[in-house]
């Protein structure tokens, strides 16, 4: 859903001319987005607006993400998931998916972590629940929290210490 189209590509997609897009941009009917360089582009959302179609809604998931560093901690992983399930239940969250992973918090190429990031980028996650900040990543937690928020998701840390 995050596709960007150059004016020529977009015009072809909606069966209009580039000139029509310029007119629509100028009169505000369908304003083009602009890159810092000034180049125009259009999005998938613009496609639905241009054709007066209702945009399909993506069903957002509530996801638990649990991680431990080594296979020796498998029992800790199970307890972490159980605690997060109880946390969600107590708050009325319906869990759509549990993502569990064994791997170091400094490794940003963990397979499940990368899958989680792709889900965030595709705006599939409405709520992400983790046990502690370091279960998601050791450093840069604020960046990942911002990334989720900018993709219309919410991050909940179950065990916050104030």
Catalytic residues: 69
Say if residues 54 and 125 touch (Cβ distance below 8 Å): no
- In angstroms, rounded to a whole number, what is the distance separating the alpha carbons of residues 66 and 78? 9
33 contacts: CB under 8 Å, gap ≥ 6:
4, 40, 41, 42, 43, 46
- In angstroms, rounded to a whole number, what is the distance separating the alpha carbons of residues 140 and 110? 16
- In angstroms, rounded to a whole number, what is the distance separating the alpha carbons of residues 91 and 94? 9
- In angstroms, rounded to a whole number, what is the distance separating the alpha carbons of residues 149 and 47? 24
Backbone CA torsion sign across 10, 16, 21, 24: negative
């Amino acid at each position: 859903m995050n596709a960007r189209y150059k004016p020529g590509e977009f015009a072809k997609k909606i069966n209009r001319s580039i000139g029509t897009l310029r007119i629509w941009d100028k009169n505000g009917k369908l304003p083009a987005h602009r890159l810092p360089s000034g180049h125009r582009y259009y999005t998938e959302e613009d496609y639905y607006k241009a054709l007066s179609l209702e945009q399909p809604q993506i069903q957002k998931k509530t996801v638990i993400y649990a991680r431990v560093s080594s296979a020796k901690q498998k029992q800790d992983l199970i307890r972490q998931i159980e605690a997060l399930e109880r946390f969600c239940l107590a708050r009325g969250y319906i869990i759509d998916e549990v993502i569990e992973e064994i791997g170091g918090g400094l490794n940003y190429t963990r397979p499940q972590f990368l899958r989680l990031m792709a889900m965030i980028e595709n705006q599939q996650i409405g709520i992400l629940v983790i046990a502690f900040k370091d279960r998601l990543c050791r450093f840069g937690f604020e960046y990942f929290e911002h990334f989720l928020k900018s993709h219309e998701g919410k991050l909940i840390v179950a065990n916050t210490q104030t």
